[in-house]
Structure 1
Amino acid sequence: MSQSPLKPEELTVAVPGGELAVLRWPAAEPDAPTVVAVHGITANGLAWYEVARQLAGRVTLLAPDLRGRGGSRAVAGPYGLARHADDVAALITALGTGPTTVVGHSMGAWVTALAAVRHPELVRRVLLVDGALTFPLPEGIREKDTLAAVLGPALARLSMTFPDRDAYREFWQRHPAFGAAWSAEIDAYTQRDLVGVEPELRSSCVLEAVQTDGAQVLLDQDAATAVHRLPCPAELLWAERGLLDEPQGLYDHQRIGLAGLDRERVPASLVPDTNHYSILWGEPGAERIVRGLLADVTAAG
């Protein structure tokens, strides 16, 4: 593939409230299929760099920065998972790629499922990566506290400033799910999040967007039921470990059963030796995602 995974093409697509930034890794052949990839709650489109590398030009990969993040930071609210789903639909429509396979990670998996439900004519298949299944909050637990506990440092950084890029790099290197796997590629992905000027650099993520979207991941009924109402073929992949690299991940066979997932309609597979983040950039996870995507586009062809 001629396009560097860390230096994709950049384009914009008009959506209500502004211009959505989109990263594009083009296919080697002009008639190759297109895949849209939707990132997580405080991430940006460059999170898909390793998937892009392993796809190696066999499809065109489009990864938007969701509104309120990265290059789409200035796109106005309202925020929310349905708004992001409609932005994905606007991207597919504007670029004329539909019906399209959509893959979503973490919060992006809820967005992906909602996009398929709200715009079935545009989404032909979905791949859900460590997300899209919602569990009820324990009684008496507030969503704000739950979001902070689950996201940990990823959320805390949104209220912080950093004197220089090295300080931001060191912040992420201390994250238990990032530090051991640190690489030039992870560095480029995290550095893309920075905005402002020294000595007051900060995350590009708009706090209101993250809070709104996070509350809906935890509580919104349309989002919670989307995975059970999918109008297209789907697959769920889940990571063995959690957001802080803890042994218990978001899902396991028992939790998936309790969530009522119909595993005949939505097959679900464990991706061993991955955590919530490394499922995107580690060898086992990215390879498994790519295998699923290429099996689908091969069947489509």
Structure 2
Amino acid sequence: MSQPPLKPEELTVPVPGGDLAVLRWPADQPGAPTVVAVHGITANGLAWYEIARRLAGRVTLLAPDLRGRGASRSVAGPYGLARHADDVAALVAALGAGPVTVVGHSMGAWVTALTAVRYPELVRRVLLVDGALSFPLPEGVREEDALAAVLGPALARLSMTFPDRAAYREFWQRHPAFDGSWSDGIDAYTQRDLVGAEPELRSSCVLEAVQTDGAQVLLDREAAGAVHRLPCPAELLWAERGLLDEPQGLYDHQRIELSGLDGDRVPAALVPDTNHYSILWGEAGADQIVRRLLADVSAAG
């Protein structure tokens, strides 16, 4: 069902290399808590549109476009997960919002965990959504091959051009993860990614940023270890299926065990009937995320 457009405020926060673009959905009541939401590797702040809609003003939601993406594409490198964590911390400090809950999806979950480890005074709780866990590669699988498998579809999109906005919309509507679930929010999110002029529109994502960040998701020891050193309460939600809606998701019970996650410190919960994207956009996943964020708000109150 189509929903009324939900337009956030657009802010900028100075960071080394430029001004970071931040989307802000304000709370309805003064003094409401703040949640910072961190998107995935080729996404942008409007990835959190559906979460913002369901939160319905009960918190202030801040969602940056990470450097090298969206309206932050001109923020200079160097890139990397620690740099993104520094940017998230700068955002919280600049807006005087801390300590906050931070929620991250996919690569954003690694950034979220790193932010909590590097800036414990600014983060009081984290929610990790289908990300943040690294686990040993299967025997015989090279790191380079695993990286190519993870980044391949994303890198292919970054090399493409589109004659108009309708063509980009049609490209995403054919994506297996969005099959039958198109919405105004997904449309706004995907359209935010476009830069350039017709007939050569392209993704806003900077190739170097995606390559650097993707390599660190798989290979960086600090990033891999962050989830095991969290100084605050945390929880992981994981999707049943993968990026292309394939049966094997990023995680399963065996992979979570192999990661060495301490389930007492960071409980991990499967969200059934979700894929890597629909855990944010579909009813089942979005409801779980919002329920946990609001439970945290109630506990804080």
Contact kept, 8 Å, 2:36 with 2:62, in 1: the verdict is yes
TM-score (norm 1): 0.96
Q: Identify the residue that residue 247 of structure 1 maps to in structure 2.
A: 247
Query: Which moved further from structure 2: 183-192 or 123-132?
Result: 183-192
Q: Identify the residue that residue 87 of structure 1 maps to in structure 2.
A: 87
Contact kept, 8 Å, 1:143 with 1:215, in 2: the verdict is no
Q: Identify the residue that residue 295 of structure 2 maps to in structure 1.
A: 295
Q: 1:156-204: per-residue Cα shift (whole Å, max 9, x none)?
A: 1111111111111121122111233222221111011000000110000
Contact kept, 8 Å, 2:52 with 2:61, in 1: the verdict is yes
Task: Provide the rounded CA distance (Å) in 2 between the counterparts of 1:52 and 1:141.
Answer: 39
Query: Which moved further from structure 2: 145-154 or 217-226?
Result: 145-154
Q: Identify the residue that residue 69 of structure 1 maps to in structure 2.
A: 69
Matches for 1:40-51 after TM superposition, within 5 Å: 40-51=40-51
Q: Identify the residue that residue 105 of structure 1 maps to in structure 2.
A: 105
Is 1:276 paired with 2:276?
yes
Report the CA distance shift for 1:129/1:80 in structure 2 as closer, same or farther (over 3 A): same
Corresponding residue SS for 1:30: coil
Q: Identify the residue that residue 176 of structure 1 maps to in structure 2.
A: 176
Task: Provide the rounded CA distance (Å) in 2 between the counterparts of 1:194 and 1:135.
Answer: 34
Corresponding residue SS for 2:200: coil
Task: Provide the rounded CA distance (Å) in 2 between the counterparts of 1:73 and 1:138.
Answer: 35
Matches for 1:47-62 after TM superposition, within 5 Å: 47-62=47-62
Matches for 1:181-260 after TM superposition, within 5 Å: 181-260=181-260
Q: Specify the code of the residue in structure 1 equivalent to 2:149.
A: A
Q: Specify the code of the residue in structure 2 equivalent to 1:134.
A: S
Corresponding residue SS for 1:57: coil
Task: Provide the rounded CA distance (Å) in 2 between the counterparts of 1:195 and 1:139.
Answer: 41
Q: 1:91-141: per-residue Cα shift (whole Å, max 9, x none)?
A: 000000101100000000000000000000100000000000012334664
Contact kept, 8 Å, 1:123 with 1:232, in 2: the verdict is yes
Contact kept, 8 Å, 1:148 with 1:155, in 2: the verdict is no
Corresponding residue SS for 2:197: coil
Structure 2 portions without partners, runs of 5+: none
Contact kept, 8 Å, 2:51 with 2:289, in 1: the verdict is yes
Task: Provide the rounded CA distance (Å) in 2 between the counterparts of 1:77 and 1:233.
Answer: 31
Task: Provide the rounded CA distance (Å) in 1 between the counterparts of 2:139 and 2:216.
Answer: 17
Contact kept, 8 Å, 1:176 with 1:245, in 2: the verdict is yes
Q: Specify the code of the residue in structure 1 equivalent to 2:254.
A: Q
Report the CA distance shift for 1:5/1:154 in structure 2 as closer, same or farther (over 3 A): farther
Task: Provide the rounded CA distance (Å) in 1 between the counterparts of 2:225 and 2:219.
Answer: 11
**CA RMSD between the two structures:** 1.3
Q: Stretches of 4+ moved more than 4 A in 1? A: 138-144
Q: 1:187-245: per-residue Cα shift (whole Å, max 9, x none)?
A: 11101100000011000000000000000000000000000000000000000110010
Contact kept, 8 Å, 1:150 with 1:243, in 2: the verdict is no
Following TM superposition, by how much is the alpha carbon of 1:147 offset from its aligned partner in structure 2, in angstroms?
Answer: 3.1
Q: 1:7-51: per-residue Cα shift (whole Å, max 9, x none)?
A: 100000000000000000000001100000000000000000010
Task: Provide the rounded CA distance (Å) in 2 between the counterparts of 1:48 and 1:292.
Answer: 15
Query: Which moved further from structure 2: 170-179 or 208-217?
Result: 170-179
Q: 1:51-83: per-residue Cα shift (whole Å, max 9, x none)?
A: 001101000000000000001000000000000
Structure 1 portions without partners, runs of 5+: none
Corresponding residue SS for 1:262: coil
Query: Which moved further from structure 2: 184-193 or 125-134?
Result: 184-193
Contact kept, 8 Å, 1:136 with 1:218, in 2: the verdict is no
Report the CA distance shift for 1:121/1:69 in structure 2 as closer, same or farther (over 3 A): same
Task: Provide the rounded CA distance (Å) in 2 between the counterparts of 1:144 and 1:195.
Answer: 30
Task: Provide the rounded CA distance (Å) in 1 between the counterparts of 2:15 and 2:65.
Answer: 12
Report the CA distance shift for 1:167/1:143 in structure 2 as closer, same or farther (over 3 A): farther
Contact kept, 8 Å, 1:5 with 1:50, in 2: the verdict is no
Report the CA distance shift for 1:286/1:157 in structure 2 as closer, same or farther (over 3 A): same
